[in-house]
Every structure is written in C-alpha cells, then in structure tokens.
Amino acid sequence: MAWIYLMIAATFEMGWAIGLKYTEGFSKLWPSVLTVAAMIVSFQFLALAMKTLPIGTAYAVWTGTGAVGVAILGMFLFGESREMARIFSIVLIVAGVVGLKVFSGQATA
C-alpha cells in the first residue's frame, strides 16, 4: 500500500508544481488555492508512504517521479524543449526511480 500512497503523492506533487505556474506568484486566488491543496494532499500521502518505506527511497522516488512528470507536462503544456538530451535525462531519472523501487527491500509493500 505504501507504494500506492507514494504514487498518489507524486501525482499531486506534479499537480502543485504545474499549479505554481498558473498562480503567477500566488497572485491568482483559485489557482493558488488549488495549488496549496495539492501540496497538502501530496505531503499527506508522502507521510503515509514513509511510515513503511525507507525515507531516502520514498523521498527520492517522490521527487524523481514528480520531476519526470513535470518535465513531460512542461513539454506539452508550455512548449518546453523536447531535445533528445533532455529526454535521455528524463529516462535516466526513470531508471533511478525503478532501481530504488526494485532494490529498496520493500518491493512488495
């Protein structure tokens, strides 16, 4: 269940990271409210995951998964670079996240 909590946390991390762009420095009310709500949900699920997962694994997977998701969403939502070197770097992050899951000792949790 911890891995499911961690994926939910990472999904909401992507939401609040993208949401920050739409808040325009927290000057827009509803994007700001939704962004802060996503932050709270993300941290809550991260905390639940950390009850059983090693902290280093949970935090690295949370940030790595969020970073990959935000980088990909940035390409589609904001026209950010799609250079092969950037995509290769994203693949390296994914490989690291998978490695942490496989070798965490909690792969079946």
In-domain check, residue 108: no
Number of domains in the chain: 1
Give the confidence band of 107 by pLDDT, cuts at 50, 70, 90.
Answer: very low
Position 106 confidence tier, pLDDT thresholds 50, 70, 90: low
Tell me: the pLDDT tens digits for 65-101? 999 999 999 999 999 999 999 999 999 999 999 998 8
Phi, psi of 36 (to 5 degrees): -65, -40
Q: Tell me whether residue 21 is in a domain.
A: yes
In a domain, 109, yes or no: no
Is residue 28 included in any domain, yes or no? yes
Residue 50 forms part of a structural domain: yes
For 50-59, the pLDDT digits (tens) are 999 999 999 9
Whole-angstrom Cα distance, residue 68 to residue 73? 9
Quick check: is 107 in a domain?
no
Confidence of residue 103 (pLDDT cuts 50, 70, 90): confident
Q: Which residue range is the domain that position 63 belongs to?
A: 2-102
Instruction: Decide: residue 72, CB within 10 A, 0-12 exposed, 13-18 middle, 19+ buried.
Output: middle
